[in-house]
Amino acid sequence: MTIRALRILPPFVIARLGSSPEPLENYDVRVAQRDPLGFREIHGALTFVVDRDTGSIRRSYTPESIRFKDAHGRVKPVAPFLEVWADVDGTLVPLTKALLAREKASIEDIEWRAQVGNQKAFRRTGQARDRINADTGWFTGHKPETLLGQCANFVARKTLPFGDVQFIRPSKDFPEIRLRFTPAKGLIYGGTDPRTRPEDVADAIYDSGRGSWSGYSDSDANPSTIITNPSPIYANVGDARSTSRGYLDDECDGIVEMRIAKLNLAAFARFGAGPPDYAPDSFPVRTMADELEQILLGPEVSDADVSSEWTEEIIRRAFETIRLQNTTVLNGNPVVAGGAANSMASQDTNWGRAEEPIMAPAIVDTIALRALHQSIFSALRSGTATWFGQVLRGFQEVGDLTNAGRRKMPAMMRGSDGLHLALTRRQANAVRASGNRQATAEDSAAVTFTAPTPRTGEEKK
């Protein structure tokens, strides 16, 4: 029995910014059994309290309720743990002190390194000197290791803090090998020129005399199409050229890796730091998990992979999104004097498409649309087979701005190409196949048939 390989799990983890010294407690999010159409419930879950000085887990507890801001109104950062797992004879198990001892290695043999970057300025200016990188270098021990962003165009000795990583000291109660990333506070940094307003920023760290980020404009890009889409998306002085103020934030993404040189083992994982999730009991229709699953498992689904719960989850996320949207406004209907606000209906006019509401105004109020989606959800729960696969927007139909095209689902939302959103192909295939599967379930309560059908193929065009 030997350790064949190491893995850091999760392979991809998200941190969320906040200036509170207290990290956000752990919780679970569950659909209420007695209230299936209601908001998901947030229940406290096992939370580790880390002693920042010693790096050990001082205690664990389950909070009774979750507050997303602290008593001073500061946002609690989401500070994720990353665990090391060992492949022992084809099975991953958490790496522990005891397991290391069997390999004649110890905690002290473990080295870590974290590297993150913020390339937002570089992405615009194209100047390598605008890259902001932080690297802890290889380290051992359990002190917090700060991630200080360095940049050739920073004022001398100035850095941009991205937070820190801390190797949690294993103990008898918590013997696993884990590292915690605590992200930055959500501060803004500026430059040494007057475009930076001191009240906006934590510090003026960018040397505007050396670098071009302050004063940059997307209008100068060559070729012009190289700019981000959408653009311009950076703090600017509000002129016609959208001249950049040279502001930087403390978001980042990067890699954390660990190695045990004497065992010739190593692993890495990825992480990033973004803004808080402000609706923690609601979930987007299409998420990064859906992207990663499509890449890992492919766009096609087999009948065996499909479940009514999967389809239900997609419909649930649809009404979770709808109930937090003013769908009347998004349909292109004015709700107050002054005309329609920014919406897919107004975005479509950028193509020269006529300005028109997407759907009949009578049916687009948030409450009516929520009710409709919840009725569909209820019907699925009765065992009714999925019947709406044909109203899903195909991924190649996103440019169809006819009314019929714009009314396909998901509606009134934008995809990664700026056109109307389509689900991942895997999601869409799952919805379509679940109708097939249910129509053939061997369950006596199923609405229709009894014989199984063969595996389904890719969506038909």
Partner 1 sequence: MKARPKNQTARAGTPLAVQAMEGTFAPKKIGAKSLHEQLSYRAAGNPPGTLPITAISNCFPGLELDFRNVWKNIFKGIELHESDNLVVGTDREHEPLRFRRLVRIRIPGGKGFQPLITVVRGPATPGGEATDLGTNALEWGNALAVIVSAAGSKVTCEFTRAAANDEVDPDVETEPFDLEVRNFFEPDTAVIARDLVEPGQLTQSLCSPWQNDYRECACYYWAASRPDYVNVEAGPSGTSAGENWMQVRGSGPRQYQPDDFQSPGLLTYEDMFRRWETVLRFEIAGRDTD
Partner 2 sequence: MRTSVRRYLVVTPETRGARAAAAQPPAELSWHDYAVFLLHVASEVEHALMVQYLYAAYSLGGASVGAGIHESARHWRETILGIAKEEMGHLITVQNILRLIGGPLHLEREDYPFRSEFYPFHFALEPVTKSSIAKYVIAEAPESWLKTKPAKEIIERARKADKGRSILPVGVLYERLVELFENEGALKEGDFRSDSEPYQAQWDEWGRGYGSGQRGNIGRESPATTPDVLVLPATDRASVIDALKQIARQGEAPTLGRGNEQASEQSHFARFLKIYQSFPERNPPSRDIPTNPTTEPPSEGDPVSRGPLGCAPITDPRSVLWANLFNVRYRKLLFTLKHAFHVAAGSPLDRPTARGNLISWAFGEMYNLRSIGGILVTLPLNAKGGAERAGPPFQVPYTLALADWDSDKWRVHRDLIAASATLIHQLDDDAGGAHHEYLRALRDHDKQALEVVESLLTAMELQEASA
CA-to-CA distance for 86 and 266, rounded, in angstroms?
Answer: 10
Q: Which residues from 405-424 bind partner 2, rule CB under 8 A?
A: 407-408
For residue 264, the partner it binds in partner 2, partner 1, none, with Cβ less than 5 to 8 A by kind, is none
Residue 409 is a binding residue for partner 1 (CB under 8 A)? no
Residue 251 is a binding residue for partner 1 (CB under 8 A)? yes
Q: Which residues from 10-29 bind partner 1, rule CB under 8 A?
A: 10-16, 18-19, 24-29
Q: What is the dihedral of CA 235, 278, 199, 146, to 10 degrees?
A: -90
**Only segment of 14-22, 58-66, 89-97, 387-395 that touches partner 2 (CB under 8 A):** 387-395
The only residue of 80, 161, 170, 191 in contact with partner 1, by rule CB under 8 A: 80
| Contact pattern for partner 2 over residues 287 through 326, marking x by CB under 8 A | ----------------------------------------
CA-to-CA distance for 9 and 13, rounded, in angstroms?
Answer: 9
Q: How far is the CB of 282 from partner 2 (least distance, A)?
A: 16
From 324, 315, 423, 322, select the one nearest 377 (Cα to Cα). Answer: 315
- Counting every residue, how long is the chain? 461
Residue 18 is a binding residue for partner 2 (CB under 8 A)? no
**Eight-class DSSP state of 69:** B
Helix or strand holding residue 101 (H, E): helix 97-102
> Given the complex with partner 1, which of 190 and 260 has the nearer CB atom?
190
**Only segment of 96-104, 137-145, 354-362, 443-451 that touches partner 1 (CB under 8 A):** 354-362
The 3-class secondary structure across 107-134, one letter per residue, is HHHEEEEEEEEECHHHHHHCCHHHCEEE
The only residue of 335, 353, 417, 458 in contact with partner 2, by rule CB under 8 A: 335
> Given the complex with partner 2, which of 292 and 367 has the nearer CB atom?
367
> Given the complex with partner 2, which of 149 and 435 has the nearer CB atom?
435
- Both tokens of 64, joined, read 């009774």
CA-to-CA distance for 459 and 431, rounded, in angstroms?
Answer: 10
For residue 96, the partner it binds in partner 1, partner 2, none, with Cβ less than 5 to 8 A by kind, is none
Q: Residue 294's CB: how many other CB atoms inside 10 A?
A: 18
The number of angstroms, rounded, from the C-alpha of 292 to the middle of its chain's C-alpha atoms is: 11
**Only segment of 101-109, 203-211, 396-404, 438-446 that touches partner 1 (CB under 8 A):** 396-404
> Given the complex with partner 1, which of 4 and 102 has the nearer CB atom?
4
| Contact pattern for partner 1 over residues 314 through 333, marking x by CB under 8 A | ---x--xxxxxxx-xxx---
For residue 204, the partner it binds in partner 2, partner 1, none, with Cβ less than 5 to 8 A by kind, is none
For residue 207, the partner it binds in partner 2, partner 1, none, with Cβ less than 5 to 8 A by kind, is none
Q: Which residues from 28-47 bind partner 2, rule CB under 8 A?
A: 33-38
Q: How far is the CB of 360 from partner 2 (least distance, A)?
A: 4
Residue with tokens 């949207």: 325
From 459, 333, 386, 323, select the one nearest 40 (Cα to Cα). Answer: 323
- Helix, coil or strand: residue 289: helix
The only residue of 62, 231, 287, 375 in contact with partner 2, by rule CB under 8 A: 375
The only residue of 93, 194, 453, 458 in contact with partner 2, by rule CB under 8 A: 453
CA-to-CA distance for 427 and 433, rounded, in angstroms?
Answer: 10
Burial 78-102 (b: 16+ CB within 10 A, else e): bbbbbbbbbbbeeeeeebbeebbee
Judge residue 295's burial from the number of C-beta atoms within 10 Å of its C-beta, 0-12 exposed, 13-18 middle, 19 or more buried. exposed
Residue 377 is a binding residue for partner 1 (CB under 8 A)? no
In Å, what is the CA distance from 370 to each residue of 6, 156, 221, 277? 46, 55, 43, 22
Q: How far is the CB of 383 from partner 1 (least distance, A)?
A: 13
Give how many residues touch partner 2 by CB under 8 A: 60
Residue 377 is a binding residue for partner 2 (CB under 8 A)? yes
Residue 429 is a binding residue for partner 2 (CB under 8 A)? no
Residue 365 is a binding residue for partner 2 (CB under 8 A)? yes
**Only segment of 100-108, 204-212, 361-369, 442-450 that touches partner 1 (CB under 8 A):** 361-369
Longest Cα–Cα distance in the chain: 76
- Both tokens of 281, joined, read 């009991």
- Both tokens of 410, joined, read 């998901």
- The backbone torsions φ and ψ at residue 98, rounded to the nearest 5 degrees and listed phi first, read -65, -40
Site residues (vs partner 2, CB under 8 A): 33-38, 328, 333-335, 356-357, 359-365, 367-372, 374-379, 381-391, 403-404, 407-408, 435-436, 438-440, 444-445, 447-451, 453, 456
